[in-house]
Amino acid sequence: MAAVAAHKAELDELGVEVLAISTNSHFIHKVWQENELSKMVEGGFPWPMVADTTGAIGRLYGVYDEQGGVDIRGRFIIDPDGVIQAMEVLTPTVGRNFRELIRQVQAYQHARATGEVMPAGWVPGKPTLKPGPDLVGKVWTVWKVENAGD
């Protein structure tokens, strides 16, 4: 969360809204903000932290661990129409990658604006695909493995 907070300006520029949701209470969120996040990033976490104390939200998104009583760490990219375009769920032993979040947001925004398709590893400035019958069997003429980003 601190890595995301550190890039608030970049997310704002992309028009991204962020919510952090956990099974912790708003009291725990406050303590965490004051004693941890604010020491990692000036100002702490600048977006709402939602208390999902019953796990209801986690259940809706398929990340609630009934046995542990916690929401598993996940990231969801939801478009302006409220449709989940991407989700990533990781165990606590591996952190998420902020650069990948930005790449995906840029790809979904580009696809929404143009109707084009972003091939594997696409990054801004690299070739896209224009779906249609003329592309079938000819992707290799437009996209090369070398075009995949990092």
39-62 pLDDT, tens digit per residue, is 999 999 999 999 999 999 999 999
pLDDT of residue 149: 67
Using CA atoms of 140, 144, 145, 150 in order, give the dihedral in degrees to the nearest 10. -140
Please, which residues have CB within 8 angstroms of residue 95's CB and are 6 or more apart in sequence?
A: 3
Report, as an integer, the average pLDDT of 25-44: 94
Residue-range domains of the chain with CATH: 2-94 (3.40.30.10)
80-139 pLDDT, tens digit per residue, is 999 999 999 988 888 888 999 999 999 999 999 999 999 988 989 888 999 888 888 888
Using CA atoms of 57, 48, 74, 120 in order, give the dihedral in degrees to the nearest 10. 120
Query: Partners of 71 in the beta sheet?
Result: 64
Please, which residues have CB within 8 angstroms of residue 134's CB and are 6 or more apart in sequence?
A: none
